[in-house]
Amino acid sequence: MEVLNKKVLVVGLGLSGISTIKTLSSLRAEVYCYDDKEEIELKNVFESLNGFNFKFIKNYKDYDFDFVVKSPGIKPFNEIIEYFCENNVPVYTDLELAYTLFSKRKIIAITGTNGKTTTTSLVGEIFKTANIKSKVVGNIGVGMLWEIFNSDEETVNIIEVSSFQLHNTKLFKPFIASIGNITPDHIDWHGSFENYIQDKFKVFKNMDKNGNLVLNIDDEILSKVDVENTNITKISLERKDTDFYFNENNFYHKGEKLFSMKDLKILGKHNAQNVLISVAICYNYGIDMDTIIFACKNFGGVEHRIEFVRELNGIKFYNDSKGTNVDSTIKAVDALEKPIILILGGYDKGVDFNPLFESFNGKVKKLILVGDTKYKFDSCSKKYGFENNVIVDSYKEVVEKCFELASSGDNVLLSPASASWDMFKSFEERGNLFKKLVNEL
């Protein structure tokens, strides 16, 4: 794609918007930007863009744009996006733009409902251990476009890819991709679970015989994927007839034992899945297995994902603020020993909470509920015998109540099964406040 002198509107001035403006300005496009916030509220953003040419506007209907780049989180039915779609102006996210602008760059795309960040981070660590030039970017909190612009064709771009980013793709084609799992999430954004699935599948839509798609075939939806135009590597926690599998606490490649779960620093069976996917991706790239195993054994996990915070009076506190959907919280509960005091609640994404309570198996002894979904969780949980839930209004109350109600040997787990946007800017902000309050006890 040629962007020289093209008139472009960037909608949304978060990490991806800032990264996009820097890149398009450097490529000498005529860059305009829009955000719901007023100019005075964006002072820090504009300071970070000092030296780059762009114009902040509110009257976007007064211009004829060649294309629009939207922040991935902006919904498809946002009135601004609908306006440009109705007027046949192409709308991209940074993912599609990254591919079309830098099609010769090497891209590994990692997606799935849960486990993306851990998998992306571990793949990055393996590449680093192997001394291969690489960058970890994307939905993991790093604006991809500017990073890819500043890399060369030898650098491998390891991208955590969200369904939001995939929604607006048409040409995007990674040379290695993975899908770890698909469970209901972001229904409010996509409009239906089927739409969500179809957007996830766009990660391999354009792949060819030179590519490789890593699939977790334990997932009911992924087990039915029939892909003719690319190579498939299958992983499983249950089946031995796959390329990479997990059995009796050990990792295997086509029957050969690689290492044990007890060799790792990360918890939970769900992380065994993330490790299998990471190993498969790196093996398919050509990294030798000894290097892969060494990196896996030394990987310490990611912040906000079943992150041990502190032990006080025999009570252990865990921060799983990245547990923003039901399936993620199910995995977090499964990873810890009982008894658990579980903190739930946040922004309502319109999903079914029943599977969460059906999975507890007697491990959860108390619920602390907070955020927009607290009353929905309260109502749903009572069908499963949780009659004495504690409903609070702030995270200060959350931590105080947990400490008051917990006994020595209990695990206090923040894994909200909800997004953070009702009370926080991000799950990171939520997790950091939780850790701060716990450490102040």
Binding site membership for ATP: which residues? 112-118
Question: In sequence order, what E strands does 286-363 have?
Answer: 307-312, 315-319, 340-344
Q: How many CB atoms lie within 10 A of CB 227?
A: 14
- Which residue type is seen at 356? L
Q: What is the Cα–Cα distance from 411 to 415, expressed in whole angstroms?
A: 12
Binding site, annotated residues? 112-118
For 50-107, the three-class secondary structure string (H helix, E strand, C coil) is CCCCCEECCCHHHCCCCEEEECCCCCCCCHHHHHHHHCCCCEECHHHHHHHHCCCCEE
Asked if 317 and 438 count as a contact pair (C-beta separation under 8 A), the reply is yes
Who contacts 95 (Cβ-Cβ below 8 Å, separation ≥6)?
A: 72, 138, 144, 159, 161, 165, 166, 168, 169, 172
Among 385, 382, 381, 396, smallest CA distance to 430 is for 396
